[in-house]
Structure formats: structure tokens, C-alpha cells
A and B are shown apart, each in its own frame.
Chain A
Amino acid sequence: MQSTRRSFLKGVGAGVLCLSLSQLGFDLTEAKAYAKELKIKNCRAVTSVCPFCAVCCQVIAYERDGELIATEGDPDFPINEGSLCAKGASLWSMYTNKHRPTKPMYRAPYSDKWVEKDWDWTLDRIAHLVKETRDKDLILKNEKGQTVNRLDSVFWMGTSHASNEECAAIHLAMKSLGVVSMDHQARV
């Protein structure tokens, strides 16, 4: 297998350091133990793409036992060559911070609080709202008598955070329902 710049540095970097320091007579036991225990040791390296700005720097995410251990720029990607900006360099803390909602949340009309709900109830309720609205509001013909099949009272906003695959699915779902008020942040 061809050695990449990254694997080369990983293998050799620590060794060179040890050699020069041991010649100076330091006790290297602790340093060696640390070097052996690089935090990405035994991690699966997964290629992803930074979710900010359309330079689309590639990143490597390191996973072990289902946990995200570290992220770094992908040195092999010809555009970013391993570099990342402040946001790209913060991916790990962005993913692992505690501010994220982890369950579907529901706020009833006139309520002053969120309550947790399960996915099945949540999607059921939304499906009923969509159907009820569509059945009530779908415009089959316009004033000129032309067929328009349009659901003007429902909108879809977003998102450029979605993958191409999700975008294709969103577009199809909305067209099938008659939603034409569809837009995303190409504008903002």
C-alpha cells in the first residue's frame, strides 16, 4: 500500500523525536507511552465533508466504538490539502456539544413549553395536518379555469444543508403534494 503523507508522519514523527531526546539523556518512558496511545489509535477513519461553505473541504472523522474521537482536514483532498478554517477545525466540538435536542419536541397551540414526543406520534400528527390542509386548500383550477393543482397555503423552506439525495427527495415530495412555495438559502 502506498504510504500517504499522514501515515508517514504518524509512523516516523514520534520516532525521530525519541531518538534526538534519548541522545540527550531524558527518560522517555512517559513520552513513549503517550505516543503509543495517540487518541486516534484503533479508530476507523471515515471521509466526510465539512458542512460550512462550498469550498467543501474534505475531513477525516475518527470513530471508535460508535464514538466520534477526532476530526481533521483530509490531506489527500486536492483542494484543502488538509487545511481547515476555524469552523472546520471545530467540527468535533460542534458534534459532541450538549446543546442539541435529541428527541422530537412538540409545542401545543398556546402552550408555553416544549414537550418530548416519540417519532411515530410526531410524524403521524404532521401527516394528518398535511393531509387535512391539502384536502381543504388544494386549488385544482385557477380563475381562468386552467388546471393548477396547487397547495398555496403550505410552504417548504430549506435547505442547502441537505445532501443531493435529500434534495431530490424533498423536491419530489413537495411536488407530489402540490407545494410550490419552496425555497432555500441560495438567497441568504
Chain B
Amino acid sequence: MTNHWIDIKNANCVLIMGSNCAEHHPVSMKWVLRAKDNGAKLIHVDPKFSRTSARCDVHVPLRSGSDIAFLGGMINYILENKLYQEEYVKNYTNASVVVGADYAFNDGIFSGYNAETRTYDKKAWARSKDKDGMLVTDPEWKNPRCVINLLKQHYSRYTLKNVCDVTGVPEKTILEVYNDFCATGKPDKAGTIMYALGWTQHTNGVQIIRTSAIIQLLLGNIGVAGGGINALRGEPNVQGSTDHAILYDSLPGYLPMLRAQWQTLDEYLKGCTPSKEMPNSVNWKSHNPEYMVSLLKGWFGDSATAENDFGYSWLPKLEPRGNTSYYSVIDRAYKDQMRGGFVFGVNPCQSFPNTHKVRASLDHLDWMVCGEVHNSETSDNWHRPGVDPTKIKTEVFLLPSAHRIEKEGTISNSGRWLQWFDKAVEPAGQARDFGHMLVPLMNKIRELYKNEKGVLPEPVLNIVWPKDFVAEEWTKRINGQFWKDVTIDGKTYHRGQQVPKFANLAKDGSTSSLNWIYCGSYTEEGGNKSKYRDKSQTPAQAKLGLYPKWSWCWPVNRRVLYNRASVDANGKPWNPNLPVIEWDGSKWKDGYDVIDGGGAPIGVKEKGRLPFIMCADGLGHLFGPGREDGPFPEHYEPVETPLKSHPFSKQLSSPVYLTFHSDLDKLAAPGDPKYPIVLTTYSMTEHWCGGGETRNTPNLLEAEPQLYVEMSEELAAIKGIKNGDGVIVESIRGKVEAIAMVTVRIRPFTIMGKTVHLIGMPFAFGWLTPNCGDSTNRLTTGVYDPNTTIQEDKACMVDVYKAAKLTEIA
């Protein structure tokens, strides 16, 4: 989230799209309704009418997978009607930047496309630079190659008719939503966007979010109270586990992953430390060397020295375009390229797409270690229905793990607040938290390397690794410590003491930090700030709903990201009634939020700095040349689609979506008459994700006992299905049994003149809980966003029919 949960109350308009927050983030709705109490308009855009829709002013049912068409139409509407906040757009976005001659867009394909590798060469989208490496701009917007003009041209195809044809939303409703949300383009108004997996789980998920970023930048809604783009993160601690990079493609604190082309630390730092692209940009990533060296120092301690590149050479490096995500693992396991692995607190056999392949792939492993609170469809995959265990070679371990209340540590909420939790009781039986599994395991491995030698023992033996797991020791290490005595502003910090803030991290090996964005969370002066429980506020903060002394939030306790964009060139808040920060003519005033990046407002001579400090140009990116699938979002159909063509271009689906190839990676052809119905999947209030924990909680299972499929009355009538009937849902990949829930919450869509039906299913039920049904993901597709490798769970094609007999549900 750029903002935080409470800040939603400050919005004048709340657009909830790709999320059903009333059911999946129920307590967030408290703040959405607070906004409504304050007079805000609430809009829910989602294929299904839900409890979120029920509390909104408008519900807009759109066909799953058509989000960019809907939002692209809004961009066109803003530009055609000049509803953008002009001063904001001119000063703070790259609207005026001139794009180089190589950029082009022809009938659905951007320049730089290689059809053989199905990838883009992003160099083709370069922006024009002068001899000093600074971006060429045209503040008058006369140059046809400046971003705002290219943007206008690109979205001119997103007419009301085209949007209506593809999304299935009537023009009148589209206009109503555009009008309401674009009213927040006025400087003193704010609109917020709340999204969740309904946006990310598409082959163009990142570009859907980019579309929302373009809208929010045009309307001047980033950085202000009640604005922003708010990803409703799923599991706690998915914010923190992402920050700490339990990911294949980044390092803690969003530093780039180590790659083979960077053989030395110097090469790595050169490769991933951007240079300034505008004279007055902050370019915060120029500090990457300090953060990277401090990370290495945090990992290898005294073994990390300037002479040995701080241990850089010991570490693994991915190939330049190497992708080792979940789904690459599944594919390689299926092809006998994996030997073993760890599955902790996740249930791939249940919640990954195309689970037939996932389940089959794990049979190929020699060993698998599961850390779980309960037996799961993954830990018990070797005796799943239809499989003979005596044929499965895998050696499986199930390590009983502790629940949240049985352990201590910190998590990070969606608004980036670092919250400490205490241990209430000992873990059940011999259960342990993950730390108490991993620390002794690594010590045993280290012992083996010490005693028996082995291949490349250095990284294993040289890490700073404790004897026992003590959570708060790691909280301290995450913040970072001094490794020699350092004097800052007259105060001397000794070796082993806490670094006060990330501006004090150094690249000479004198400091460590396991995650620079958390530096400042645990200091000598302030102690463990995740434990703060002080509600005191200034009057300005009380008005904002900002609690700077309750917990701590990254970065540097700044509660609203990009808040430098909430003021005009002279530092005056766009909305004088709800200032997030304010410049008094010579300095930023106290008593508001923590200022983003320092520097004066851009109107101040020489000292003025652009607000988007993490971008090398300091600007908000309407034109985003960094993504894998194009600098402007473009509508493409889901890979499985009811359509054979769409009005935006000849390119039906994303030209660069990722997939894998095997006998179990089947895809239905576009418009395949055997699979005419769109399936979307979702979670529910009573069950969590794949359902591992909640199916084992009797009262929750009683509330939601079995797998169902929601369908319209019209579709049910066509199929001869009655409410409560057992049905089969079938895709080209498999069949799933479910109970029909015939409802008015889902209605047929009219798409390009034809009726298209959509059905929806939860995915929380699995075979290990008797008679409740089995994985819905046996139906979904293994096709992925090229930026994130997130699967297209939200749209695939199926058929549904009445079941002669049910075997999975009783």
C-alpha cells in the first residue's frame, strides 16, 4: 500500500476493483465505510455481486480479464475531457518527457519484439537523453513524441463502445464510474484504489496495476491523504516476506537479484545503481551500494571484508533471464531436474494453478520437507486419491509448526507497519516455530561441512548464524548494526550497537543491515519500535488518522509514500484541509507525516527536488519503460478466452506471457466451443487460501462445509441445473465436482454482441478433509505474467453440467 488502512477514510471516492474486501479483508471495510460516512462515493468493479458490492453506491459487473479495457477507457476519458490535475501532471510525472525514435506501437505489439523468444528488447522504448544523460522534456507538450501525446494516441482506441463491447459493462454505468472517480482530479479531492489478487492473477496483472498508476498520477492522487494505490496484501506476513525477498528475483529491501553477468561486487553495483536522469531528482537508488554492502556484512559478518568483496563471490548467481519461481520448480520437478526441497507454510498441491501437474511433479522428488500446522494435500500427496503409495519414491518429512500465538516476532501489515507479537503459550506438543526448525538444521549442516568437508563450504560456514533462534536478535540484525566504532554528529556508536537510520549505512563494511528499508526500526535511542503502543498525535495527525507512535512503519516511519507529491511547487498542500506535509517557506513543518526523501519543494531554487525519489528521474511514470510487456498497458485477452478477436488490436493475448510445456500444460483454443464459460476463482471469509488451517477449525468448516460453484439463473436454466445440485465443472485440464449455487449475484455478460456466461468458485477445499470436495485449481491454467510469474487464476474457460454421481463431495 502506498497509504495505510486508516487513511482510506480520507478518500472522496473509493474504487474497489480486483478485490472483495468486505469478505477477504473484512476489517478493512471499517475504513471504507468511514469514508462513506464522510460522504465518499464507493464503487465496486467485480464480476460478482458480493458483500462489498452491497455496501457500495455502484456495483459494476465486468467480465473477468477485461480490467485494462475498463481502466484504459478511463485514461481516455480523463485525457479527452481534460480532467487531469494539470499542475501535478506537468510537475511530477513524465508527461513532458520525450520518447526516443525507436518506440512504436503497431496493432497490439510494441517495438522491440522478438517473436522467436517471445520477449521485448526494452531498449526500443528508451527515452531521449541529452549529452549529460538527462531526459529531454517538452513542458509545452507540443512535441508529438512527448509522453502525454503518446498516451493520448495510445488510449484513443479505448472508446466507450470498445470498452463496453469487451467488458460487458453498459456505457451508462461506465460513464457513471468514470465521472465519479475522475472528479477526484480536482486538487483538493482524493480517490483511492484498492486491489488484491483479482488484479494480480492475470497474464497482464502488472499492467492492470500500471493502468491504475497512470490514472492516479493523472488525477494527482498519489502521495495525498485518501489517495494512492493500495494493494490489499494477503497473508500476514506477505508484506514482510516480500520485503525480505522469499523470492527468486530480488534480494531483501528490493535490491536486484545476483546474476551471472555480474561476477564481482563492483559489476553488480555498477549494473544496478542508476544514475540521475533529471538534474533535480533525488535518485535514492544511488545508495544501493551502501545497502548491498551492509546486507553482505549482515550475512557474513567478520568474514566479509573489502578484500574478498564482502563474500559476494560465494553467493549463487542466476542466469541473466533465469526464472526460478514456484512454477519453474514444478516444471523442473516434473522433468526430473529437482531432487528435493522445503515446503513451509504453503500448500502447492492445493493452491497452485493446474494442480494435476503440481501433484504429479512432486512424485518425482527424492525428498521433501514440509513445515506445517496440519497435514496438507502437499505433505500427504504420496497417498492422494488414485495413487499407489508403494510406487512413490519420495522421502517425506512433516515438521509440526507453531501457530502465531505460540511464537514471537514481527510481521508487517499491508500499510507497512511493523507489528510485534508476543508468545502467549508454548507450541502444541513438540511443534516448533520455523526459526526453531531452521536454526538447528543449519547448525547440523554446518557441522557436517566442518567435519566432513564438502563442495564450496565457505558460504555455509561463514554466515553469521546463531546457536539458537531468538527472534529479537534477528529484529536487531534486520535493522542493522555497527561493526566498528563510528561517530555520527558527535555521538560515537560502538561495534555491536544499532544503526540509527539507513542514511548511516555505509559501503565500507562498517555497518550491517539485513534489510535497509527496516533500518531505523530498532535503535539504541528508540529500542524496538515495533512494540510501540502510543496513540498520541498532533491535531493534524488526528485529522489524518495517522498514529506515528503506534508501531513503526517502513521507510523511516513514513506512513504515506510519495508524500512529497501532496504539495504544489511551493510546498502548499493540494488539499489544505488534509495536509500530509507542509512547507513553511524555509523548512518542512513538524507534526505531520515524515517527509519523503528530504529536499525542498521543486519551486525552491537549487534546493528543490522532485517527489518520486525511488525513480532515477524523480517523476511518476505514465510511460513505464521498465516492464517486460510494454511501456503502456494494453488490453489483451486472457490466454483462455471466449473471444477469437477483440476491437483493440489483432493481438489476441499477451505476446509475452510465460508458460511451460509438457503433456500436462494443456490450453483450450480461443473461443473453443467445448469450453464456453469463463471461470473465475476466489477466496471466502471463513476459509484461508487453500484452506489448510481453516478446514481444520471445526466451526469454520461448519460455516462453509463444501466446494460450490456460483452461477447465474440464466445459465442454470440453460444447463438444467437447480440450486443445490451436484455438478461437474470441466476444463481441458480436468474435472472438479461442486455443489451448484444458483444466484442473482452473477449475471450473464453481453460481449461483442454475444452472451457470455461466467461462473465463480472458491479454492479452499481439498481431499484431505473428507467429503468437502477437492482442488478447484485442477481447472486453472499454468500461464503467467511475464514480470512477476503470477498465474492467471482469475480467468480460464470451462463447461459445467449436472453430475450423475458425486464422489468427492458427500
Contacts and interface: CB of A to CB of B under 8 A. Distances in A.
Interface of A: 44, 46-59, 61-63, 66-68, 71, 76-81, 83-88, 90-91, 93-95, 97, 99-112, 114, 119, 122-131, 133-135, 137-138, 140, 142, 144, 146-173, 175-188
Interface stretch (B174-182, B210-218, B455-463): B455-463
B422 A131 contact: no
Given A158-B246, A178-B316, A168 B515 contact: yes
A54 B414 contact: yes
B127 interface: no
9 contacts: A107-B397, A126-B397, A133-B340, A163-B434, A166-B409, A168-B478, A176-B463, A182-B246, A182-B247
A186 to B, nearest CB: 5
B115 interface: no
B405 A172 contact: no
B325 interface: yes
A162 B345 contact: yes
Nearest to A77: B550
A119 to B, nearest CB: 7
B382 A107 contact: yes
B503 interface: no
A86 B324 contact: no
A183 B693 contact: no
B701 to A, nearest CB: 10
Interface string B392-419: 1111111110011111111111100111
B660 interface: no
A135 B232 CA distance: 42
Q: Specify the main secondary structure of chain B where it touches its partner.
A: mixed
B285 interface: no
A9 B304 CA distance: 56
Given A54-B232, A85-B685, A131 B448 contact: yes
Interface string B336-349: 01111111111010
A130 B445 contact: yes
Given A159-B346, A162-B434, A180-B316, 7 more contacts: A109-B392, A126-B397, A150-B317, A158-B342, A160-B242, A164-B244, A176-B299
Contacts of A153: 337-340
A129 B25 contact: no
A92 B478 CA distance: 31
B699 A90 contact: yes
Interface in B445-475: 445, 447-449, 452, 454-456, 459-460, 462-463, 465, 469, 471-472, 474-475
A134 B340 CA distance: 10
Contacts of B688: 52, 87
A110 B392 contact: yes
A94 B403 contact: yes
Contacts of B444: 123-124, 126-127
Nearest to B695: A99
Contacts of B703: 86
B397 A104 contact: yes
A100 B471 CA distance: 24
B425 A61 contact: yes
Contacts of B405: 46, 48, 59, 61, 68, 71, 91, 95
A150 to B, nearest CB: 4
A158 B439 contact: no
Nearest to B447: A127
Nearest to B367: A129
A97 B698 contact: yes
Contact of A63 (B31, B407, B425, B788): B425
B430 interface: yes
B700 A149 contact: no
Nearest to B448: A131
Of A154, A175, A188, the most chain B CB neighbours within 10 A belong to A188
A128 B147 CA distance: 57
B28 interface: yes
Contacts of A182: 246-248, 324
Contact of B426 (A66, A86, A100, A109): A66
A183 B330 CA distance: 12
Contacts of B241: 159-160, 162, 164, 167, 184, 186
Interface band, chain B: 35 or more
Given A138-B456, A171-B246, A85 B340 contact: no
B404 A51 contact: yes
Contacts of B372: 101
A145 to B, nearest CB: 10
Contacts of B475: 164-165
A67 B247 contact: no
A153 B367 CA distance: 11
A46 B424 contact: yes
Contacts of B332: 152, 181
B454 A185 contact: no
Contacts of A107: 382, 394-398
A180 B249 CA distance: 9
B352 interface: yes
Contacts of B314: 149, 176
A103 B471 contact: no
Contacts of B687: 87
A62 B424 CA distance: 7
Of B247, B263, B687, the most chain A CB neighbours within 10 A belong to B247
B101 interface: no
Nearest to A43: B424
Given A90-B697, A154-B339, A49 B419 contact: yes
A167 B246 contact: yes
Contacts of A57: 27
B454 A102 contact: no
B184 interface: no
A131 B454 CA distance: 8
A177 B434 contact: no
Interface in B463-503: 463, 465, 469, 471-472, 474-475, 477-478
Given A68-B425, A186-B247, A158 B411 contact: no
Interface in B100-132: none
A104 B399 contact: yes
Nearest to B382: A107
B463 A172 contact: yes
Contacts of B399: 104, 122
Given A158-B345, A179-B316, A76 B339 contact: no
A163 B410 contact: yes
B154 interface: no
A151 B564 CA distance: 44
A170 B5 contact: no
Contacts of A156: 246, 341-342, 344
Given A53-B236, A61-B425, A135 B454 contact: yes
B535 interface: yes
Given A94-B403, A146-B317, A149-B314, A102 B428 contact: yes
Shortest Cβ-Cβ A-B pairs, 4 listed: A102-B429, A159-B345, A163-B409, A54-B233
B435 A80 contact: no
Contacts of A108: 395
B236 A49 contact: yes
Contacts of B232: 53-54
Given A90-B700, A158-B346, A163 B5 contact: no
B206 to A, nearest CB: 12
Contacts of A49: 236, 404, 411, 419, 421
A97 B699 CA distance: 10
Contact of A97 (B263, B455, B697): B697
A170 B434 contact: yes
A160 B326 CA distance: 14
Contacts of B449: 131
B507 interface: no
A130 B445 CA distance: 8
A19 B30 CA distance: 35
Contacts of A133: 339-340, 366-367
Contact of A147 (B317, B389, B394): B317
Interface string B357-388: 00000000011010111110001001100000
